[in-house]
Structures are given as structure tokens and as C-alpha cells.
Amino acid sequence: MYRIRFKDCGTTTVCAASHQEAIAVAKGLLRRGRQDVVITEPTGARIFLDQRVSRTA
């Protein structure tokens, strides 16, 4: 289970079943103006995303 956290009204967490799904969800959140998007992998590793990522693919 991949957890995607972002700032909205407070901090919100959504989940994804795979790495690819987590990246797609995170990119969609960034395109909609969400900030501080962080994916936490099942291993505990974290991926921090910013607006540059949402524009590249």
C-alpha cells in the first residue's frame, strides 16, 4: 500500500495499490494545485514531489 499525503485543508492521505498508480495520483494532485505531496512506499521510503514533476509527463 502506497500512501500519498498532501496539504489541502489540513493534511490529507489517499492510498494507491502500486508505485505507478501512486505517481499518477500524485501528479494529478499537483496539477490541481495541491502542495507538499509525499508518497510513502510500503518499505517506509518517501518520495517528495513538486510542481516540476507534474509538468514532465
Model pLDDT for residues 1-57, shown as the tens digit of each residue:
999 998 876 778 899 999 999 999 999 999 998 888 999 999 999 999 876 665 544
Measure the CA–CA gap between 3 and 17, rounded to whole angstroms.
9
Burial class for 22, CB neighbours closer than 10 Å (0-12, 13-18, 19+): buried
Q: What is the pLDDT of residue 57?
A: 46
Q: 3-state SS string over 8-37?
A: ECEEEEEEECCHHHHHHHHHHHHHCCCEEE
**Are 3 and 44 within 8 A, CB to CB?**
no
Q: What is the pLDDT of residue 50?
A: 79
Q: What is the pLDDT of residue 25?
A: 93
Q: What is the pLDDT of residue 37?
A: 92
Q: What is the pLDDT of residue 4?
A: 92
- Nine-digit cell string for 50: 513538486
Q: What is the pLDDT of residue 9?
A: 66
